[in-house]
């Protein structure tokens, strides 16, 4: 296979370079050390989810744009998902930056696990990741999954947190399985499981090779009022998945935010300086990741957006203030009006019943508490 040949080629190159460094070191230790120093200059490790996740592509885009080979090196590390990335950021040696779901982050803060999590700074709020629920043809609605097997990904994965939590809130009891997503898709095709859940920014590579003859489809996921403080409404369209969603059709679902975090490093240390340099380069060169050829999710990112209840990384905060990118405040009445219009448009678009003024007020109160970091 092509990727195997490429992998073997890379191993040969790495082996040759290692031999070269060793040969240089034997004859000139000072020069060998200089090569090592240059290779590690500005080094930043970014923890992402599985190879099928959106954040792997996001990290790759950052490396392609920011890694200049001389002053900065960006290395993406494939992890096991949001829950594990959060733990790794706190306890694993060498992890400088991690991309994590916001629902996982808030849960970890509420549970104070890992210890000291509330001291972790965020660099930027990123994009939203959609909840994909792919099922067999006999599953017409999410309630049809009652008592059936649904895959929620591996332990430590963000889906493994969001999926069971969502089904619990909807009071739909299912038999959870924990296969990796590629394996789960095969088992879904064969009928061993009835559905798979996957949190990923659309279009997720996992679903791009699903064919019409597989007889699979996305199932709508409702957004209930008690979930509105954590998740937002979203849609999967034919533009995202032409083989799974009909032309001009869409499937309602929910989405959760993704946030880029930094390790709480010792000020003035080399790693701390490297992360600060990375942040400055990321913010300064952000227009480049919006260019064609990079992931479309970059278009959702607003670098000045705030994450209520969390401290922004000092380098990010300084850049925003220096460049006049601080958020523009709006008063509560304006926010209330915007929120009300959003609910009306949501009801109209989904064909649902319009909410009463009292229901809107209740949802707005929940929204305010979440925004102020009080709802956990």
Is 313 or 29 the better-scoring residue by pLDDT? 313
Does 118 share its domain with 135? no
The sign one gets for the Cα dihedral 31, 35, 37, 42 is positive
Does 122 share its domain with 265? yes
For the chain, how many structural domains are there in total?
Answer: 3
Does 269 share its domain with 342? no
376: which residues sit within 8 A by CB, 6+ positions away?
106, 107, 109, 110
Domain that holds residue 188: 129-257
DSSP string of 234-293, one letter each residue: EEEETTT-TTTS-TT-EEEEEEEEEEEEE--PPTTSHHHHHHHHHHHHHHHTHHHHTSTT
- Note the pTM of the prediction, 2 decimals: 0.76
Does 165 share its domain with 220? yes
Strand locations in the chain (E):
43-48, 73-78, 97-101, 122-136, 149-151, 175-177, 195-200, 216-218, 232-237, 250-262
Contact call for residues 261 and 120 (beta carbons, < 8 A): yes
Domain end point (choices 217, 236, 257): 257
3-state secondary structure of 195: strand
Does 117 share its domain with 133? no
The answer to whether residue 8 scores a pLDDT higher than 80 is no
DSSP string of 78-116, one letter each residue: E-S-HHHHHHHHHHSTT--EEEEEHHHHHHHHHHT-STT
Express each pLDDT in 273-329 by its tens digit: 999 999 999 999 999 999 999 999 999 999 999 998 899 999 999 999 998 764 444
The pLDDT, as a whole number, for residue 343 is 72
CA separation for the pair 198, 193 (Å, rounded): 14
């Amino acid at each position: 296979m092509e990727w195997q040949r490429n992998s073997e080629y890379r191993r040969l190159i790495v082996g040759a370079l290692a031999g070269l460094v060793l040969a240089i070191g034997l004859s000139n230790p000072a020069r060998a050390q200089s090569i090592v120093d240059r290779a590690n200059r500005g080094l930043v490790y970014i923890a992402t989810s599985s190879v099928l996740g959106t954040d792997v592509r996001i990290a790759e885009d950052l490396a392609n744009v920011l890694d200049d080979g001389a002053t900065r090196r960006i290395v993406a590390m494939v992890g096991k998902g949001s829950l594990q990335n959060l733990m790794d950021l706190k306890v694993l040696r060498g992890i400088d930056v991690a991309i994590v779901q916001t629902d996982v982050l808030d849960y970890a803060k509420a549970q104070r696990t890992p210890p000291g999590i509330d001291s972790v700074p965020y660099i930027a709020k990123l994009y939203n990741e959609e909840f994909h629920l792919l099922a067999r043809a006999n599953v017409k609605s999410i309630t049809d999954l009652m008592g059936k097997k649904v895959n929620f990904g591996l332990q430590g994965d963000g889906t493994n947190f969001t999926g069971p939590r969502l089904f619990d809130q909807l009071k739909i009891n299912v038999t959870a399985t924990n296969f990796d997503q590629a394996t789960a898709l095969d088992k879904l095709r064969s009928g061993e499981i009835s559905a798979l859940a996957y949190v990923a920014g659309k279009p997720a590579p996992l679903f791009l090779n699903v064919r019409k003859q597989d007889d699979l489809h996305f199932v709508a996921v409702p957004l209930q009022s008690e979930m509105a403080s954590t998740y937002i409404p979203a849609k999967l369209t034919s533009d995202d998945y032409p083989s799974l969603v009909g032309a001009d059709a869409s499937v309602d679902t929910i989405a959760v935010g993704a946030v880029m975090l930094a390790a709480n490093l010792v000020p003035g240390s080399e790693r701390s300086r490297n992360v600060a340099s990375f942040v400055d380069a990321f913010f300064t060169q952000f227009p480049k990741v919006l260019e064609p050829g990079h992931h479309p999710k970059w278009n959702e990112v607003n670098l000045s957006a705030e994450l209520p209840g969390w401290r922004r990384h000092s380098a990010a905060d300084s850049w925003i203030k220096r460049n006049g990118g601080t958020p523009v405040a709006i008063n509560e009445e304006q926010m209330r009006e915007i929120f009300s219009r959003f609910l009306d448009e949501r009801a109209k678009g989904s064909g649902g019943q319009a909410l009463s003024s009292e229901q809107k007020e209740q949802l707005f109160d929940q929204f305010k508490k979440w925004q102020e970091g009080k709802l956990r």
